[in-house]
Amino acid sequence: MNIGTLLRKYRKKQRLTLKVVAEQASISEGFLSQVENDVNSPSVETLIRICNALGIDAGELINEAGKKERIKLIRKSEWKEMELPHTGFATRRFFPQEDRKVLDSSVLVLEPGRSIPVRKNIKHGQEILSVLKGAVELKLSGQCYNLGQGDSAHFWANPDQQKITNTGNTTSFILWVGTM
């Protein structure tokens, strides 16, 4: 995790507003928002004031930020361990939400005949599907594309007119990547 994400996590955990923390740290609310969203970086002195306002140790925060996971592997041997709920699909994310700023990715697992919901509120996003095992149908803007094992598609997302369905007789595994 980066420092901004950690600061937001601790602030929300304590149910504090940007305004309250900013006032206690003697900075503007806008600047604190920029720090939390990694648009701006605080000086060491300002970081200490923000941490004091949150009641956390700045050194420990920096250590925690330094322990960020740099790679996440999902081995094929783990596929059989993925439990599917009653919905018939599962999403195995590579990184937690707070570490997904530009790109989102996961291994999608779909039972035969099941569909996976599309992401909402995505504007001008791109997606990539690569079928690792099985077969799926991608419905996109009124057209259908059948993808089998080894097939891939890169497309502009259209959440209002998009659907991914397992059209095969076995569970499908799909590598999915999308811009935020």
Task: Give all domains of the chain, ordered by start, each with its CATH number.
Answer: 3-66 (1.10.260.40), 76-179 (2.60.120.10)
Residue 43 φ/ψ, nearest 5 degrees: -70, 165
Strand 103-110 versus strand 172-179 pairing type: antiparallel
Tokens found for residue 91: 């999403």
What tens digit of pLDDT does each residue of 102-126 get?
888 989 999 999 998 787 777 788 9
Share of the chain above pLDDT 90, in %: 53
DSSP 98: G
Distance between CA atoms of residues 26 and 21, nearest Å: 8
Question: The pTM is what?
Answer: 0.65
